Amino acid sequence: MRLWLANVRFLAAKELRSLMKDTVLVFLILFAFTVAIGLVAEGVKAEVSNATVGVIDNDRSDLSLRLRDAIRPPYFKPPIDLPRDRVEREMDAGRTIFVIEFPPRFQADVLAGRSPDVQLLVDATAMTQAGLGASYMQQIFAGETLEFLHARGLLGAVPVRVSSHIRFNPNATSSWYTAVMQIVTNVTVLAIILVGAAVIREREHGTIEHLLVMPVRASEIAFAKIIANGLVIHVAALGSLLLVVHGWLGVPLAGSLLLFSTAMAVYLFSVTALGMFMATLAPSMPQFGLFAVPVYAIAYLLSGAATPIESMPPVLQSLAGVLPTTQFVTLSKAILYRGAGIDVIWPQMLAIAGWGSLFVTLAVQRFRAMLARQG
């Protein structure tokens, strides 16, 4: 056992030196865990932001001006007056997403107890902005109208008042979620690519013959590649979590970083073993890339990082529930957002470790068979 560990340590050091000499892969790792995290977190938003609003005010009353003033940044840009004959041209050009039209005698009809209609035109090609923005507008108009009537004593107490309290992300800031999920995504795809590239690089460069004449076993070579590449990704991901997500983007980390680091190490063991197993099935790097893309895409789409598992069909929910990527996304949310401890996330860690044991067994068997054929 001591000799096995010594050989693994020696081979892992060789793998690290080889990886550090590959400037393209080093740049890819640095980019994925720094700039790419910031671009996705800041550029991809799930909430309304700086939406353009045009107003056709046929009433010019206190109420219509009050509703107009309630449309404020950062959700919306300050509304602009828009002549009726320019509405279609502005929306067709994509310069205006929302157009609000207040009818004549709008305030008088409200005070008289009638229900005048306010027309809201929406450019639905801006899908996220359109869907959420229309809902925001309804809430703004309803709240401001009620306060307007209360101030004039024309409306009694509202029988039900909704008071929402959002936990863990009070302002529903999408970057808090997307930044952490991007790290999870990058860990998955890079773990598969790096180990696969390491195996195929040995085969394509002919250096695998050097390993065959060394007094080492297939399991030692396989574990060295898994440990070396997993260690690089582990360090890069933790650095990104602390420096980019927490430091630059200001996302609070509620749970134990030590526990998350341990969970990520178990997950990396599982995914790197999967990458090695896939590399033994592909004879060249292009074929490995084509093989890896659908595997990663399916794992990502079913992980719950992009779409809630509860929104999937029952069959897909059952499938997603057993995947290691889904387990890692679940425990990452639990630790980093809700401050969960080992008593909460141990089922996910156990499931990931089980998948890791299966993947590494298959990888070592296939790697041993590949070396036998090569020899």
| CATH number for the domain harbouring residue 123 | 3.40.1710.10
- Do both 220 and 335 map to the same domain? yes
- Do both 245 and 310 map to the same domain? yes
- Do both 304 and 219 map to the same domain? yes
- Do both 57 and 17 map to the same domain? no
Inter-CA distances, 245 with 150, 181, 333, Å: 44, 11, 14
Residue 128 domain-assigned (yes or no): yes
- Do both 40 and 60 map to the same domain? no
Q: What are the tokens at 287?
A: 């074929």
Say how many domains are in the chain. 2
What's the domain range around 82?
53-151
Cα separation, 266 vs 314, whole angstroms: 28
Query: pTM for the complete prediction?
Result: 0.80
* pLDDT, position 55: 94
What does each of the 375 residues of the chain score in pLDDT, given as a tens digit? 788 888 788 888 888 888 888 888 889 899 999 999 988 888 777 778 888 999 999 999 999 999 999 998 888 999 999 998 898 898 888 889 999 999 999 999 888 888 888 999 998 887 778 878 888 888 888 888 888 888 877 765 555 566 677 777 777 778 888 899 999 999 999 999 888 888 887 776 666 666 666 667 778 888 888 899 999 999 999 999 999 999 998 899 988 999 999 999 999 999 999 998 888 888 888 888 888 888 888 888 888 888 888 888 888 888 888 899 999 999 999 999 989 999 999 999 999 999 999 999 988 888 777 777 665
3-state secondary structure of 346: helix
- Do both 68 and 189 map to the same domain? no
Cα separation, 315 vs 294, whole angstroms: 19
| Contact status, residue 240 vs residue 36, Cβ threshold 8 Å | no
* pLDDT, position 127: 75
Residue 316 domain-assigned (yes or no): yes
- Do both 212 and 319 map to the same domain? yes
* pLDDT, position 207: 65
Residue 144 domain-assigned (yes or no): yes
* pLDDT, position 307: 81
Inter-CA distances, 112 with 107, 179, 278, Å: 9, 50, 72
Residue 168 domain-assigned (yes or no): no
- Do both 201 and 239 map to the same domain? yes
Cα separation, 86 vs 68, whole angstroms: 19
Q: What are the tokens at 248?
A: 């630059």
* pLDDT, position 327: 93
- Do both 312 and 203 map to the same domain? yes
How many H-runs (helices) and E-runs (strands) does the chain carry?
A: 15, 4
Q: What are the tokens at 106?
A: 């709008």
- Do both 146 and 280 map to the same domain? no
